[in-house]
Chains A and B, each alone.
Chain A
Amino acid sequence: MTSQLLPKIRVTVLYFAQIHETTRKKQEIMELSTNTSIKDLVSIILTRYPNIKNIKNVKISVNYHFVNSNSNPILKNDDEVALLPPISGG
């Protein structure tokens, strides 16, 4: 079986504030292998947008719950992942 025939999942990735100015988009859908972990996805994002590394204290959420960016839970189809830089509301 070629890699193109392997099962895939689709994940929505959201970028906010300084981060979307780096990515030049507020969100995108990524098609990933079914065994992709949060850590894997973060690695893909940082490879694609290396300047995100210059933004400190970026937090990751999956379906509105915070997760460790180095964690191994596997992403599921239709998950919503967000990259959240330091906040300044109020």
Chain B
Amino acid sequence: MSAPAAPAIAPVNVIDVANIEVIYNHVILVLKGVSLTVPEGGIVALLGGNGAGKSTTLKAISNLLRSERGEVTKGQIHCRGERVDGLTPNDLVRRGVIQVMEGRHCFGHLTVEENLLTGAFIHGSKRRQIADDLEKVYHYFPRLRERRTSLAGYTSGGEQQMTAIGRALMSRPTTILLDEPSMGLAPQLVEEIFDIVKNLNEQERVSILLAEQNTNVALRFAHYGYILENGRIVLDGAAAALRENEDVKEFYLGVGGEGRRSFRDVKHYRRRKRWL
């Protein structure tokens, strides 16, 4: 794939999405040419409103799309230089790419610990390694150790989110696709979870692709950000730069520019599309 010269200089991209188009049910075009890269060890935020296509992008990478009758019709997805569109989710987890789904999706009738153990499914019966990994997850999420024997369905939203992330960790991932970890959680918990994610990124060298609506928090923790609107990437840049960007401030962070402006003055591409 890559040029033979100077491999040390060019950083490896763990995820490389090139111009993908996604169609659901053969008719609904959701992504209209999305490209993005996740460098090794980076936290990349994918931002945008409801229905912008954030989750779809993540599912296209992890290939959970197919079970929702979605399909990547154009473009390519590479993972460390290997083409991965067309592989099953199981293949991707074996390659170290795992998705934490939006809305937690814990196994409600399993205990917290059993939930974590299901994450180690691909490691078969390597008892030693699984026990070590379990210890590690409890180290990052001490709260889960207290709740280990509770049914996951009866734990709080925050604990479920931790269970979901911990479960993904049990597969020993190199990249986590994290979908809306802040959904439905109190700001304080959001902060706590993002801190842990940051720790994981720094200590375990896990790369993270984060889909978030909470632009404010996401841009504080991420290194780089992409803004998705209507299935297209409209803006991207280093997180710090995005935070200072006037458009991002106005549309996503909720801090307006100076004074009230007429809608007519807003450049057409910044307007929401209207009918009539």
Query: A and B from one assembly?
Result: no
Q: Could you list which residues of chain A lie within 8 angstroms of chain B, going by C-beta atoms?
A: none
